[in-house]
Amino acid sequence: MAELTVTTFVSVDGVMQAPGGPKEDTSGGFRYGGWVFPHADKDMGAIIVENFSKVDAFLLGRGTYDIFAAHWPKYTDPNDPIASKLNTLPKHVASRTRENFEWGNSSGVRDVAAEVASLKKRYQGELQVHGSAGLLQTLIRQDLVDEYRIFTFPVLLGTGKRLFGSSAAPGALTLKASKTSGAGVIYSVYRRSGPVKTGSFAAE
């Protein structure tokens, strides 16, 4: 059975909106699209390539799917470790209104919360989520993520869509790995580890 893993880019204050370019997602008047670009380096690239080596299929939000579908088919090198996976592997797209997806090997998922379990049974490697801010809110709220792979960039954005909102399902996480790139990007891998534990520093 596959595991559902999430790879996402966030600012120090948790914003994940439009990391790749100025026009990627301007909703809400967001003005800082492309904030990842100045911090991208070989260290970050190597981690991303390693993650893509584990994927069997993708689960994407409709917005991210449309961005990817407009970009990645232009890269046809079969040896490209990212483009080759995105262009050929199954892509499941969360959408309740759209039925046709033209990018190769793509299909729709109407009820993500109900269908994730059956999707995971179809694969042996990883069912990977990239970007997909809206989809992630559903997955996080329903506690459906097995592993978070979070790149934290040294920037404060102050506004924009955040990875973890107020509706996130409470739970404890275990840090499984952490690296820092030469550009100061912190890469952290977290796995679910049960309920939140509490205590007190108050004097008895």
- Phi, psi for 76 (deg, rounded to 5): -110, 5
SS (H, E, C) 103-155: CCCEEEECCHHHHHHHHHHCCCCEEEEECCHHHHHHHHHCCCCCEEEEEEECC
Task: Quickly state the pLDDT bin for 36 (edges 50, 70, 90).
Answer: very high
Strands (E), the chain: 3-11, 55-61, 91-94, 106-109, 126-130, 147-153, 173-180, 186-192
Dump pLDDT digits (tens) for 134-145.
Answer: 999 999 999 999
Dump pLDDT digits (tens) for 45-99.
Answer: 999 999 999 999 999 999 999 999 999 999 999 999 999 999 999 999 999 888 8
pLDDT at 165: 87
CATH topology classification for 3-192: Dihydrofolate Reductase, subunit A (3.40.430)
What pTM value is reported for the model? 0.94
From the number of C-beta atoms within 10 Å of its C-beta (0-12, 13-18, 19+), residue 93 rates as: buried
Rg (CA), the chain: 17
Task: Quickly state the pLDDT bin for 166 (edges 50, 70, 90).
Answer: confident
pLDDT at 203: 86
Interval 169-181 mean pLDDT: 96
pLDDT at 187: 98
Q: What mean pLDDT value characterizes the chain?
A: 95
Q: DSSP class of residue 13?
A: T
